[in-house]
Amino acid sequence: MRKLVLITLLLALSSTCPRAYAQQRFDPAKAINYCAAQAVKTLKVIPADSVNLPRNIDQGKINWRFIKYRDWCSGFWPGVLWYLYEGTHKAQFKINAEKFTTELTPLSYTPGFDHDLGFQVHNSFGNGYRLTRNAAYKPVILHAADSLATLFNPRVGTILSWPSMVKRMGWPHNTIIDNMINLEMLFWASKNGGSKKLYNIAVKHAETTMHNHFRADYSAYHVVVYDTLTGKKIKGVTHQGYADNSMWARGQSWAIYGFTMCYRETKKAEFLNFAQNVADVYLKRLPADGIPYWDFDAPDIPNAPKDASAACVTASALLELSTFVHDKTKAATYRRKAEQMLAMLSSAKYQSRDVNDAFLLHSTGHKPNGSEIDASIIYADYYYLEALLRLKKLQQGQSLYTRLTHPVK
């Protein structure tokens, strides 16, 4: 009888205790080392010219497509290298992270051209400053934040995401859900020497997005178009999703991540509650393996392409969200779901391994445009590695925001 009780207790602990579950089911250390080995292979094939930042490897290809620093994805490769330095403490990753980060410096001193400055500068210089406190990085981030803030329209209450789409699509003031991620740079800048107005802009953008960007079931539109004179919402549409009324997978993942981050930075309860609402509808509609199809409403499911990048963004967000949620059962669920996603992403089905030099396969960038379909994409690798590092810290009982304990000089 005592033996039966003990077995029952152990089983209960394994299902409810996040640390026990993580140790039993998935160890991120092996996957982090795998990423390091893949990145070393990529470093060996980096071109010598200025088109030298990895972006994607199309399905059936084995070689990276490289981009210049102006591309919206330019910050992810230096960000990957900074994360590898954090995860391995190896000097080669720090040296290369510094090299590729420095290439992005001109972005900081360019007038605001779209919302992607956060992806570009915060992922590169931001991670570099977090890990090294290199004083030269700080003014670059602050200048970039000020540049991004020039796109804020106070009458609307959001940042203009795509100035190029104003005339091309007839969208007077357009805001995309992806823009939520770039608010992190504004929050950081407001707390590290920048104007306090940057904090207010980020909060207002998040609040306006929360009120206008979501349907009754908490699924997100990709784009919301506003009237610049009245500030009122004109319509919600898609650009990269299947349809205006569909739930584009990566868009929903940006929402989960963005509102979780906004709660971290503001401690406003409405952001925490909203992050859970947008996470719950995503989790409710996932397929069995936990990796979404590119759009939850794609008509050709189960033959539609998957989007591993959305799973990576969501896994990272859920790990952070699990540390904020007050309901212990729900927090454990978010943690467990994230670990299950990472375990699947780390399987032979999704890791690139010998197929190519990226970390992951099966991401979808812009399906309607026929671009990066079922491909390896650099931002999937970035958020995959970020999630692995977050999980490792949680398993070790550390804060997600712990800096390097033994940095390489």
Name the residues annotated as catalytic: 116, 178
**Measuring CA to CA, which residue among 28, 25, 36, 61 is closest to residue 361?**
61
How many other C-beta atoms can be found within 10 angstroms of the C-beta atom of residue 256?
A: 31
- What is the identity of the amino acid at 232? K
**Measuring CA to CA, which residue among 319, 162, 314, 345 is closest to residue 252?**
314
**b/e burial code for range 292-307 (CB count within 10 A of at least 16 → b):** bbbbbbbeeeeebbbb
Max intra-chain CA distance, the chain: 75
User: Rounded CA gap, 81 and 210, in Å?
Assistant: 33
Q: End-to-end alpha-carbon separation of the chain, Å?
A: 58
CA distances from 61 to 58, 285, 345, 356 (A): 5, 31, 20, 8
**Measuring CA to CA, which residue among 309, 137, 287, 288 is closest to residue 240?**
309
Assign 196 to helix, strand or coil: coil
**Measuring CA to CA, which residue among 63, 64, 30 is closest to residue 346?**
30
**Do the beta carbons of residue 185 and residue 144 sit within 8 Å?**
yes
Q: What is the DSSP string of 222-251?
A: SEEEE-TTT--EEEEE-SSSSSTTS-BHHH
